[in-house]
Amino acid sequence: MKGIAYQQGVSTNTSQTENVDYTDPLADTTSCKRDIPFLQKLNTNTIRVYALDPTKNHDTCMNALADAGIYVIADLSQPGESINRDDAAWTTTLYARYTSVVDVMAKYDNTLGFFAGNEVSNQPNNTNASAFVKAAVRDMKSYIKSKNYRTIGVGYATNDDASIRENLANYFDCGDASDAIDFWGYNIYSWCGDSSFTKSGFDVRTKEFQNYNVPVFFAEYGCNTPRPRKFTEVGALYGNQMTGVWSGGIVYMYFEEENKFGLVSVDGSNVKTLDDFNNLSSQIAKVTPSGAKMADYNPTNTAGASCPAVNSDWAAKATPLPPVVNARACSCMMDSLSCVVASNVNEKDYGDLFGTVCGYSSGKFCGGIQKNATTGNYGAYGMCNSTEQLGFALNQYALANPSGGCDFKGSAVTKQAVKTQASDCKALMSQAGSAGTGTVTSAPTGTGAAATGAKSSGAGVALTVPTMETGLLQLGVYVLGAAFSGMAMILL
């Protein structure tokens, strides 16, 4: 993999919670065609894009990239719709977003893979968020299979944090192979200036992954201190010391922006190559990496990693993972409710309502929506959107308090519950249990989101769900800390 990160104006920080406008580089036909010759000058065979718009058509750019011998690895999230490390959840909202990207990209032969997350857990106190990312990996792998798409890998891109990097790599690779990552991307910036294989720590990282059983590569690299970058690490990455373990890497990044990592500066139709571009071009031209041919590929390191134990440095229990996202289960649950949140309640005020209802009776009304990755206690409806989760909690309180229990100062209203539910709803509700603390084992029957211009025969119907995910009940949010205490690639 000789790659370049290729997208303007998108922060790669997964904790970004606000929706922002961004330009989909694979839908910007003019810019794509403009830049391909420059990518070719760097011997590029892979680009990484961080946010795609699934409502747009990508045929022209993807076909042009294919003609140039360039593959695409795409992040499934977008700014404002990703797994937030500070309030992690894997929900129907995110599922719809992620599957919509899969739907529009699966038809292209040069779609190399998908990232289900990027640097979500970045220090010990937010490693619980990794459970929700791994659930996303599991569900996207299952979705690709259920849609009969060709096999496309789903992986994760991690930061290089010394306190958690080993646990992260082991966690995402351990357990059932159907839940584990298909590849591991490493964002690493430890080779700065005239460094070396040993001084940079590349030797230690290489040793750590020599028995890893899935492909590993640098999902981002290219320290920019000092600048211009000399890219002397290229010789090591594609040399004999590393190619037995690493499948190449992706330089961050193509476009010059305020962070000063660009290879080129762009002004309309004009592209100016910078010193970084010229230095990378010189270094990449020197390397001649060789990988195993498929016919000769007989790996002996086929076992997954050992799962890390929950301790002061790691907060995600290996099993169970958060529930499989099942939008039908959420809609069936909503049909069954006789008390729901009033339509005039602003979603910004949901937090107060969650705090109130979940604070009663040691949190028993919110057992069906809890999400405790540290203990592995998950409610069946913790994957529903925030309106559905709040409705469930309010209804549980109302059932226990039939005399005026559905009010909350006008924030909750009564409705007519569906008297005769569909047979699939009966099964799903039975599995979830009346308190919502059971496990829904039925496979989701919903599809991903269809996209304008996407000709993939498998594209499904769009899911309409709120984008607001406040109040999704991580332990420590509002009063639940007390309430639930004790539950708490083959080489290209």
Q: In the annotation, is 220 catalytic? A: yes
Q: Which two tokens mark 97?
A: 């977003």
- Whether the per-residue pLDDT at 458 is higher than 70: the answer is no
Q: In the annotation, is 258 catalytic? A: no
In Å, how far are 192, 201, 261, 288 from 196, measured between CA atoms? 9, 8, 21, 19
Write out pLDDT tens, residues 291-313.
Answer: 788 898 888 888 999 999 999 99
In Å, how far are 178, 373, 412 from 370, measured between CA atoms? 24, 10, 20
Count CB-CB contacts under 10 A for residue 441.
Answer: 11
CB 489 within 8 A of CB 250: no
- Whether the per-residue pLDDT at 486 is higher than 60: the answer is no
Q: Phi first, then psi: what are they for 216, rounded to 5°?
A: -125, 145
- pLDDT-based confidence at residue 459 (cuts at 50, 70, 90): very low
The span from the CA of 15 to the CA of 452, in Å, is 29
- Whether the per-residue pLDDT at 226 is higher than 70: the answer is yes
The span from the CA of 155 to the CA of 118, in Å, is 10
Task: Please report the pLDDT score of residue 16 as a whole number.
Answer: 54
From the candidates 18, 81, 119, 469, which is the catalytic residue? 119
Average pLDDT over residues 50-68: 98
Q: Collapsing DSSP states into helix, strand and coil, what is residue 485?
A: coil
Write out pLDDT tens, residues 82-139.
Answer: 999 999 999 999 999 999 999 999 999 999 999 999 999 999 999 999 999 999 999 9
Write out pLDDT tens, residues 403-417.
Answer: 989 999 999 999 999
Write out pLDDT tens, residues 420-431.
Answer: 788 899 999 999
Kindly report the CATH number that applies to the domain delimited by 2-296. Answer: 3.20.20.80
- Whether the per-residue pLDDT at 467 is higher than 50: the answer is no
Residues 6+ apart with CB under 8 A from 436: 333, 367, 368, 369, 379, 380, 381, 392, 396
Average pLDDT over residues 303-326: 96
In Å, how far are 80, 334, 346, 470 from 386, measured between CA atoms? 15, 12, 12, 7
Tell me the domain boundaries of the chain: 2-296, 327-483
What class has domain 327-483? mainly alpha
The share of the chain scoring above pLDDT 70, in percent, equals: 89
Q: Indicate the DSSP class of residue 303.
A: S
The span from the CA of 385 to the CA of 449, in Å, is 16
Task: Please report the pLDDT score of residue 456 as a whole number.
Answer: 30
The span from the CA of 225 to the CA of 192, in Å, is 6
Closest CA to 254 of 242, 240, 246, 265: 265
Q: Collapsing DSSP states into helix, strand and coil, what is residue 81?
A: strand
Please provide the average confidence, as pLDDT, over all residues in the chain. 89
Residues 6+ apart with CB under 8 A from 125: 315
The reply to whether domains 2-296 and 327-483 share a CATH topology is no
From the candidates 18, 208, 220, 388, which is the catalytic residue? 220
